[in-house]
Amino acid sequence: MIEVYAHNYLKNLLRKDSFIWPHNLTLSRLVARSLRRRDKSSFTLEIADCNDCWPGVLIPLCLQGSDAVLIVTSTQKYRILQVEIPRLQEEGLNLAVWEGTIPPGNGQVWILDYCNFINAFRENYLGLRQLIIPEAEHFSRRSREAMSITLSSSNWDTLRRAYPSASSALINFHERLSRRLFAKAIRPDSLIRMELGDLILLKGLLEQLPHLPKPWSIFLDATTQEWASWVELDHRLLDWTWYLQPLEPLHIFRQLLVDNPFIMLSGSVQNELDYINNIANVKVKLGSPIHQEPIRLFAPFRQPLPNAECFAEHLLVQSRRLILGKQGLTILVLDDDQLLKTLTSELAAEFGKRVVFESTAPETNGIICCTTSWWISSSHKLPPPEQLIIALLPISSLESPLTAARVEAFKQKGLDWFRDLLLPELLSCIARLVVPVRKNHGRLAILDGRIRSRVWGNKVFDVLEPWIPVERLLPD
């Protein structure tokens, strides 16, 4: 049986490498069983590093992976091709992988990044293939980003050239829409939410044109209330760019998950996985509690709230104090663009060239000021920091058209949009932010007063466990 063979290969690997996650033995049997039985499986892994589970996933695929589709990020794909497959080859195992955009022949595991997965889904290439999704707790967010549609002036020009007979109607529609959008702008950098009526009018115009080029052909499926739609204005050129993203991608993949067997591997169960867990017929929590070193946490009482007039001055004073006593790398994350620029320039006036903005080449004692998303995507390119300063808790702003649309959808369903949507996303984000600094036994500082003054702040403290309070700032 495939389970037995996978188990034996892993036992041999564990004898040679004692650092391999021991629960890979059980995981390999579970994955092998799901492959053989074509189950809908959801495995929750108590694991510090998701890369530790690859042997338990890939060894069964070496033995039986004829119609499996592995959906990964570019970083995960690089790890599989450059690290995991060579390690398997040393054990006499060969994993046949297919990296093309069309389905492979028999006996090959189809590796797809999220953009190619979305394309395969739209082209009906997936059929009844078995889906394997690592880090499934991020599946919805990554799918949403991959499904994003961007329409710029060049796309309008391409459409007009392709259909000269409709050129006049397209120009008139674009000009009317442009005047209305710029009239709504309250500041140069504002984002304007697109009205559903405008989407329906344009859809009616496009449906009369045959064989639309991309991305217009995809646009026709995005003109519903299940998509967020907004524009970014360029006042200098009097131009605008149109963005569309699905609110909840899992609703779009509903039938795919009902029809196809799948293996979901998640580091923690999030609310967005509830739907998947309801479909799954095999649900297993695997592993033992993760031992982590306590992180030193500076989050003093009586800090001002973000809407206080003195908040900007508070950030500058506390950031200066935190940086003065540290010799290593400091990361400062802040998701308010204007406040981030101001704070970066003020710190640069104090600490000079040590301060950089979203750079992966800082000095040894550098200070990187960045957004949350930049830090999460770039942390693997940087040395582990000695200190992480969270100036503002990364709660999605209602000024974001995507967040506003998702919140509105939750309200229409009578759900608690903060506790059921924004708070779980905040907790997941915080957990990912602190991983590098915890590994380096560094210090975490949270300068947002809401962590102490709001009841839900206790949930943030729970996510950060284990931690040791820092009562006073002392130099290294």
- pLDDT tens digits, one per residue of 430-474: 988 998 999 889 999 999 999 999 999 999 999 999 999 998 887
Q: Treating both helix axes as pointing N-terminal to C-terminal, what angle do 54-63 and 2-16 enclose, rounded to 10 degrees?
A: 140
Residue 205 to residue 166: CA distance in whole angstroms: 9
| Whether pLDDT at 390 is above 90 | yes
Q: Which of 62-66, 122-126, 401-405 has the lowest mean pLDDT?
A: 62-66
- Judge contact between 36 and 64, C-beta under 8 A: yes
Question: In percent, how much of the chain has pLDDT > 90?
Answer: 66
227 phi and psi angles, rounded to 5 deg: -125, 140
Residue-wise pLDDT tens digits, 403-423: 999 999 999 989 999 998 999
Element at 255 (helix H, strand E):
helix 254-259
Residue 13's pLDDT band (boundaries 50, 70, 90)?
Answer: confident
Compute φ and ψ for 333, nearest 5 degrees.
Answer: -110, 140
Dist. CA 125–CA 102, nearest whole Å: 7
Report DSSP state, residue 81: I
Distance of alpha carbon 166 from its chain centroid, rounded? 39
Fill in the DSSP letter of residue 131.
Answer: E
Which tokens hold the place of 344?
């970066």
Q: What is residue 334's three-state secondary structure?
A: coil
Residue 129's contacts (CB-CB under 8 Å, 6 or more residues apart) are 67, 68, 69, 103, 110, 260
Task: Note the pLDDT of residue 475.
Answer: 65
Ranges 107-121, 185-199, 329-343: which has the least confidence: 185-199
Taking the C-alpha atoms of residue 49 and residue 442, their distance in angstroms, rounded to an integer, is 18
Alpha helix locations (H) across 280-422? Answer: 311-324, 337-351, 372-378, 401-412, 417
The tokens describing 10, both together, are 């892993």
Query: Which residues lie across from 467 on neighbouring strands?
Result: 295
- Token couple for 425: 């996303």
Task: Flag whether pLDDT at 20 surpasses 90.
Answer: no
**Quick count: other Cβ atoms within 10 Å of Cβ 188?**
9
Q: How far apart are CA 263 and CA 468, in angstroms?
A: 37
Query: Whole-model pTM above 0.75?
Result: yes
